[in-house]
Each structure stands twice: as C-alpha cells, then as structure tokens.
C-alpha cells in the first residue's frame, strides 16, 4: 500500500498526519538531531526541514535548553511541516512516566507529537502515558527492537511488545524496529541505525542502508542522525541524498 492509502486507515490522528506529510513532501526521512546547543539544533532544523517528515529529538542533551527553544522549534515546525518525536524512551511504572511526560523542565507532552517507550515494565507504562497523551492527540511508539549490538529486545520480548501494542491501538501508533513486524498495515515502523557510508560507530551502533530498511525489511520511516549532520558534512546535501535513496526504495517496493 502507498503512504496515502495507509494514512486513511489510521484512527490515530498523529499516524495519519505523519503519512500525509510523507506523501506530500515525498520523504520518509526522519532526522535524529543529537546536537547539544540550541544554535546548532535550530540551524540544522531550519536547513533540513524541507527534506524530512519528522524531527527526532533528545531534548535533555541540550546544554542551554529553555522555554524559548520550544517556541522557536514550533515556529520551524509550522514553517517546514514535520512532526516532532521526542525519543524519551520512557521505561518506568505508569504513575512515574505520566509525570515525566507532562511535568518537569521539558513538559514533553506540550510539544512532542510522538514519544516512545520500552515495553519492559508491562502495560502500565502505556496506560500512564495514554492518560496524558491521548486527550492531547499524541501517539506512542514501542521499542520492539533496537539497532545496537547485543540488544536484548529480540524474540519473545519483541513478540510480547507487538501484543502490547495491539491491546492499546488507540494510542500506540507503531514501533521502533528494524523491520515490519506485522503483516497488516495498522502500525507505523520507524527504523534507526541507518547510514550509507559506515556500518557502525565505536559504541555499539550498527548501520544498515535505507534500501535494506525500506525495500527489504518493509519499514516505513528511516531515522538518520550522524549520517546527515556528522562532522564535516554538508547537511542539506546529505539530507537530500538520504531522502532520495529512502524514497526510491519505497517506490521500488510499491512497484512504481
Ligand atoms: P545515529 O544515526 O547518529 O546513529 O543516531 C541514531 C538515533 O536513533 C539516536 O538518536 C539514537 O538514540 C536513536 N536510536 C537508535 O540509534 N537505535 C535504537 O534502537 C533506538 C533509537 O531511538
């Protein structure tokens, strides 16, 4: 199915919006922007904005975070049209994650369209996040697999994560995983650990190509970080390159 056909099937508003943006901008690229200053964060977002469907953040790595940053980020979101995914990887009991999601310095629920969580604590984590996020029209991804070497999220853990998602279809929009996990098209699959030039970093990250991820493994969205903004890179040229390779792999998959 095409992204636009998929978009019409989602009941969750965020999942629908994501695929509408993908189709409209013709990009299945999400940027993982792991820089540590506001200046770099905003500059790169503005440069790469036209080529991405989603901006993935780790808001707690910014050394100079303030509320103004969120206002500036929202302005760039309106300018370029992308969803914001805060990669918070919640991993605690429902009551705790509820506060972590909505309170503290970052007030993630106020600006992040998408968040993610580990399934490790059981269904309560989804219920806690849902209490906050569902009324705000947000969506949750469950980490069913990880790209890092030696990840324990495999086999029965992955299967149980898929079952958990199916029990919470109103709020869980999909998975962080290396491949499409279900034959039906009810969930979004987003895949990190994507790179064209290197196969690993020095800390356990493992990279696969966009073609492998989208065409061979049936994922929907490639998440690329250092492949785009790494040292000495022309971020616009790299973003275009990943967008093109990712989109060509999708067109090949649907037989276009
Ligand atoms: P990079 O392309 O620079 O390796 O960045 C990958 C990004 O995806 C990082 O932000 C990391 O936190 C995230 N990520 C990952 O690499 N593997 C996973 O399994 C899950 C992730 O969220």
pLDDT in tens, the chain (256 residues): 999 999 999 989 999 999 999 999 999 999 999 999 999 999 999 999 999 999 999 999 999 999 999 999 999 999 999 999 999 999 999 999 999 999 999 999 999 999 999 999 999 999 999 999 999 999 999 999 999 999 999 999 999 999 999 999 999 999 999 999 999 999 999 999 999 999 999 999 999 999 999 999 999 999 999 999 998 999 999 999 999 999 999 999 999 8
Which of 208, 153, 205, 164 has the alpha carbon at shortest distance from 187? 164
225 annotated among ligand-binding-site residues: yes
Predicted confidence at residue 174, as pLDDT, reads 98
Using a CB cutoff of 8 Å and minimum separation of 24, what contacts does 4-11 make?
Answer: 6/185, 6/220, 9/185, 9/186, 10/173, 10/186, 11/169, 11/170
Instruction: Name the pTM for this structure.
Output: 0.98
Secondary structure E strands in the chain: 29-32, 54-57, 83-90, 114-118, 139-143, 172-176, 188-191, 221-224
81 annotated among ligand-binding-site residues: no
- Catalytic-role residue among 26, 38, 46, 89: 89
Q: Whose CA is nearest to atom 2 of ligand 1?
A: 225
Which of 125, 143, 138, 132 has the alpha carbon at shortest distance from 170? 138
Distance 32 CA to ligand 1 centre (A): 7
The finding on whether 92 has its CB within 6 A of some atom of ligand 1 is: no
Residue 201 Cα: closest atom of ligand 1 = 4
Q: Are strands 54-57 and 114-118 parallel, antiparallel or unpaired?
A: unpaired
Secondary structure E strands in 61-144: 83-90, 114-118, 139-143
Predicted confidence at residue 256, as pLDDT, reads 85
Backbone angles phi, psi at 173, to 5 degrees: -95, -15
Predicted confidence at residue 107, as pLDDT, reads 98
8 A C-beta contact, residue 225 and residue 34: yes
The finding on whether 165 has its CB within 6 A of some atom of ligand 1 is: no
d(CA 5, CA 82): 19
Complete DSSP assignment for 154-168 = -HHHHHHHHHHHHHT
CA Rg value for the chain: 17
8 A C-beta contact, residue 208 and residue 194: yes
46 annotated among ligand-binding-site residues: no
123 is an active site residue: no
């Amino acid at each position: 199915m095409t992204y636009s056909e998929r978009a019409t099937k989602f009941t969750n508003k965020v999942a629908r919006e994501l695929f509408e943006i993908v189709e409209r901008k013709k990009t299945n690229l999400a940027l993982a922007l792991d820089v540590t200053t506001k200046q770099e964060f905003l500059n790169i977002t503005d440069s790469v904005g036209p080529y991405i469907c989603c901006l993935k953040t780790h808001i707690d790595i910014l050394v100079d975070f303030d509320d103004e940053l969120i206002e500036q980020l929202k302005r760039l979101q309106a300018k370029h049209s992308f969803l914001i995914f805060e990669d918070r990887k919640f991993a605690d009991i429902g009551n705790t994650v509820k506060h972590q999601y909505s309170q503290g310095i970052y007030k993630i629920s106020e600006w992040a369209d998408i968040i993610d969580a580990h399934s490790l604590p059981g269904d309560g984590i989804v219920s806690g996040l849902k209490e906050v996020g569902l009324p705000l029209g947000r969506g949750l991804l469950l980490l069913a697999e990880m790209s890092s070497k030696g990840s324990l999220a495999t086999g029965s853990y992955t299967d149980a994560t898929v079952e958990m998602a199916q029990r919470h279809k109103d709020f869980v929009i999909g998975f962080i995983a290396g491949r499409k996990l279900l034959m039906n098209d009810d969930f979004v699959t987003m895949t990190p650990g994507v790179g064209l030039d290197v196969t690993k970093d020095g800390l356990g990250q493992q990279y696969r190509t966009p073609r492998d991820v989208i065409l061979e493994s049936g994922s929907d969205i490639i998440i690329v970080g250092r492949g785009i903004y790494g040292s000495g890179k022309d971020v616009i040229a790299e973003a275009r390159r990943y967008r093109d390779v990712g989109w060509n792999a999708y067109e090949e998959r649907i037989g276009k």
